[in-house]
Every structure is written in structure tokens, then in C-alpha cells.
Structure 1
Amino acid sequence: MFDFVPVEFYTNIQYYALLFIAVLMLFHSLMYDVRDEQSINFFNYFGYFVVILFTLYIGQRQVSGRFGDTVNYDSAYKLLLQGKEMKVEKDYLFNYLMIFCSKFMSVRGFFQLVDVLYVLPCFLFSRKYFGRYWFFAMFMFLGSFSFWTYGVNGLRNGLGTAFFVLGLYFYERKWWMYVCFLVSYFMHASLIIPIAAFFVAGIYKNPRIYLYIWLAAIPLSLAGGSSWTTFFSTLGFEDRTQGYLTGGEAEYNVQFSKIGFRWDFLMYSAFAVFAGWYFIFKKKITDIFYIHLFGIYIVANAFWILVITASFSNRFAYLSWFLMPVVIAYPMFRYKIWEDQYKIFGIVMFLYFMFTFYMNVVLL
């Protein structure tokens, strides 16, 4: 569908399109009232258009090494189309989904299906918890630092986080929530970390403890260095999760642009930590769901900080980063916090996206 777009420009085009939307939303927030009915209707219709176009654009990408593991998934899928068998030993649901789809669907169709499943939970979550302002939350998802990457490269990891978000959509319907969490784990076993964080944060409901855990993880990581990676790799993680810690196999040799203690990404993570601290302790938000979300983010992110020097720690980082849009935006559209709340959100949203743009476009 979008084969006319040169592959070398394909990714940047979507970032520039998102930049245009971010600027549009920023100026709108500075000039208009979010409660204006015309504005709400405009962003509702515009939002549907953006979500549909984005989903098609990411799903109909060309097969190219510029999209990371897309080429590997393409090769594996074509073997299935030729009648070859796949030995499934991990990530069972994803692999069986691939086998099932190969019986009647082209590789392009499969990629499109995967990205529909990737985007749809974020859309449903935004619609449920943000109501008429759903597109503002949805844009935070789309404009997140690694959202595009896990829709074209780490497909299994991305699908796992998407089903975790779907589980949060069913937060009041526990059995459906647990089913979604189970699906997320069998899409990608590394989701055991946010799932474990969900239960830990559900048992220990004191957000102050979450902050202490996160702050303590920084000096512990600096002092322990790679010993934390070694320690966690001995705890019996599933092979894929352990591979992210230890590297070794060729599959795990794609890394951050550099390894070591990433102060830049720590500061990025701190954005959501500060937001949660501010809303809960300064603005006295007592929303049980939000405090639980904050706890999940903190625990999962603290784990990443401990293994930050691992060669594939970006995959662990995303196991908390995918919740950043919610941690930052949720209170701003559920509670009255400031007089010029819409203006402040517009600025926060723009700064949040500009980190994404800077890291993925300016620096590359």
C-alpha cells in the first residue's frame, strides 16, 4: 500500500507526521479551551483518521533490514508458506498464531494483523479511561519513544505489552484481565516482569515505598554493575528473558547504540516517576487504579535499572516504558489539577514527544 515511499525515509516520515500533530495539539492547547465542543469533535474525528492511517502505515511497511527483525519474521513466515514445519519451544501463542495465519494469509497480511493487535488495546484503553479526550492519550502512546520500534522490530515483545494494556482495560473484570496477562506472557515470556510488578504493587499499596525502591535501584545498580545481570540470569528465567540479560546468541547481539549505565534513559524514565510523585503526593490523587499503575511502572523500571548494563536491556526498559503515557496523562484528564490544565498538558505532551523525535530522528 505504501511501497511508493522510499524505505530509507519510511520511519522518519511517520515521526515528522507525529511532529506535525504534536505542534497542532500544542498550539490548540495554548489558544483554545479543551471543553470546547467543536474542539472535542474535531479531535475525535481526526483521531480516528490518525489511528487508522498509522495502523495501516506501520502494518504495510516494506520488508527491509531498516525495520529490524521484520526481515527475520518475513523469512520464517515464508518457510511456513512453503509448507515447512516450525518447532515451537517458546513464545507459544505468537508462534502458533504465525503458523495458523500462514495457512490462509500472506506475510503482509500477517504483519498487518499483528499491528492491528498492537495498536487496538491502546485505543480501547484510551477510549475507556479518557472518554471524549481519548485521542490525547492515544497520541501519547503513538508518540512514545519505542512505540514504532516494537511495532516493526520487537513484534513479540510489542504484542505482549499490548495484551498487558488490554488486561488493564479489563481492570474491573479480573478474570478477563488475568486471561489477557496470560496471553501477554505466552506472546513473549519477558512480560513476566510487568505481570510480577502488577502483583507486587497490588500487595504493597504504599506509593512511597515504590519511590524508595526506584531511588535505591540507582546506587545499587552503580555499585553492583554487571553482577546484577549475572545474579538475575541464575534465577531460572525463560530462555528468551535470560538471553536479554546475558546476550550470547546472535539474536541478542543487537544492542542499544551504546551500552553501560544510560543516564539519558534514566532521566527519561524519571519523567514518569516525577509525574507520579507529583500527582500522588503533591496533588493528593488517591485513585486506586492510578496508584496501582504507578507501582507497576516503578517496580518494572527499577528492575531495568538494576540490569541497565546488560547488552539487551532496552527490551527490559520497554517493559516499563510502555506504561509511561498512562502514568503521565491519566490524572490530567481525570481530575482538575491546574487552572490552565489544557495548556499545561499541551506543553507536557509536546516535550514528551520531542524526546522521541530527538532520539529517533535528530540523533540518528
Structure 2
Amino acid sequence: MGGAAAPAAPGHGSPSRRSNGVPRMLSPRRAGRAALSTAVAVSALAGGLALGTGSATAAAPTITSVAPHLVAALTANQIITVTGTGFSEDVIADVSVTGCTTDPVYIVSSPTSLLLKTAADCAAGTNAVVTLKDDQGATLVASTPNSATATVAAAHKLNFVAAPTISAKATTHPVIQANTSAHAQSEQVITAPVGGGTTVKVTAGSTPFVNTTATPLAATLGGVPLTGIVMASGGASFTGKVGPHAAGAVALSVTSGGVTKTFSVADTDFSYAGNTITVTPAFGPSNGGNDIKIAGTGFTAGSTVTVCGTAATVKAGTTATAMTVTVPKSATTAVDGPCTVKVTTGTVSSVVTPGSTYTYVAQG
């Protein structure tokens, strides 16, 4: 049939049209949403808008659900998906979320899906409301997490939860081998063997860890899950066993209270490296001067040794698997230990096992 062709759907950053045919330029905020997902925007446009033969009157949008229901507070770039009906760039001009100082960046990915990306200023709190607005600032629709209808309330629930934190390495190593936690910080071991199986301790920062049946505590090191996680009372720390991983520094990721945060490699301050050693004998006089033998792998002529944090003298004849060292004098005349014996080759230090400790015995 003849007649005028239907107007093309507006693109991001290009003019849209009012129902009277007069061009309307998109605001910089609306045009900027293309940066969130250009591919998604193109997909949304491909779906098109339902236009009548008269004016382009869109149905009022509705919200059916919000996901995820738990989102990290004060953490940028958290993605929230709003599902519903009638979503259109021609209708929605702004989105706000209660508890967030800055409105999220958003994009209409389809007539039934809206993607939000938060700034770093969404405060911890429960039952946040997502509101869709028109270009006059009027509310089109809002989520109802406090609905009297249980199914609606559950589908619309949006809680901002305090993200997990870890201790600052300047004061407390955030990740250490668990069996060195009682040692001085300088003697704590922040490496694990590449074969896995070592139990590590992770210490919380200002926000305690949370572990419940509904939101179990979980963590990975270098993307490898920790197993057998046990949280200390009050959430100040937890322990878990590492899996195999290639040598190198790794990033820690913690899921606590239903939200996940990944820490930088620098903040994690932990790496897979080193080898286990065995010390024989594992005790001696407090004034030192006696020799001990150390068995392991990867030793070189440049390997150094500390006993309880004090440098020991490495004797000639070191091989790749064995060395002999002279034990230094203890810092105290009393029993001292068991404490760490550590072999360092280059930047790699041995890991601590029950066989790699030494005890000074008080002399009569």
C-alpha cells in the first residue's frame, strides 16, 4: 500500500522525533549511554519500536524484576538488570536508584531489559527503589521492594551490601600461610607452593567477613577457589586451602554477604612460589654456633637462610637439594620457638611446613 514510510528508530547520539515529527536531539546523558554497550544498543534498535499509523504512542513501561538482589555498596561499575515491558529510549529519559548520590548510567538493551551501571556512591541499605522517569522528570514507573505482595517484593528486592575488605599490608599481611600467623610479621610467609594444598589465613579490614547459609563465604586466589573455608568468630579472618596454580603474584577475590570484591595483586600481596624444606636437627642451644642441614629443591650458591628472622651462615658445598648452615645466636636466653627457617633464592622464599621450623633450647 502507498503512504508515507514509517520514521526510522532513533539511534544513540542522533535526533529522535516527537510524535508531531519535530526533531528532538538526545541529551548528552542519553547519548553517553552508548558507551555502556554499543552492541547492546544496536541490538535494541534492531528490535524497533511499535509505531502506529498515526502518532508514535508507546505503552507505559512496567517493572517485573531487578537482579541481582544484593549489590556491593560504594563500589563502581556494579551492573543491575531491570526487566519489564515497554522499555524504550523514546520514553525513558532518566533512571534513579535510592541510596545512590549519582544516577546510574543506563541503556535500554531491549523492550524488556534495562541495564544499569552504578557509580561508587551507592550507600549500604535495604530495599532500594529503581525509578524510571520521562524527559520532564516525571515518574514513569518505580520498583516496589516493599510491596505487600510477597512475590513482587521478592522480585523487586535491591539491597546494597558493604563490600568485603582486607587488612592493609603495611600493618598486617592480608594473606599468609596460616601456620605462620603467630609469628612476627617479618617472619610470616606470603607465598604458597605451586602444587597447592597449603592453608592460608585471610584477614579482614574495616568490614568483617560474613558467612551464612543464604550467603556463604567464598574466595579465590588467582581464580582458583579456596576449599574448606572456616571463618573466625566475628568475621575478623578466615582460613582456606589453596589449589594448584602457576608461579607468580595473584589477586584475591572474596564473596561475603552475597557480594564479591576482587582486590588488586598489590593489595593481595601473595604469590605462588617457593618449595618446602626440611630442617635437621630442628632444635639446638640458645647461643647458636651449631650446624643444621636443610633439604629441599632449587637451592643455589646464592641462596640465603634466616633462622627465627636472623641471618644464618651458609657453609660451602650447597647443592640444588641440600645445604648446611651455622645457626645464629638466639635473641633470648630462654626457649625460643618453634620459629621459621626460611631459604631465599632470588625473590622466592621457601614455604613453611612443620618440618621447616627450629627451636632454641635454653642452656643451663
Could you say which structure has the higher helix fraction? Answer: 1
TM-score with structure 1 setting the length: 0.22
Higher strand share: 2
- Of structures 1 and 2, the one with the larger relative CO (CA 8 A, separation 6+) is 1
**Whose radius of gyration is greater, 1 or 2?**
2
TM-score (norm 2): 0.22
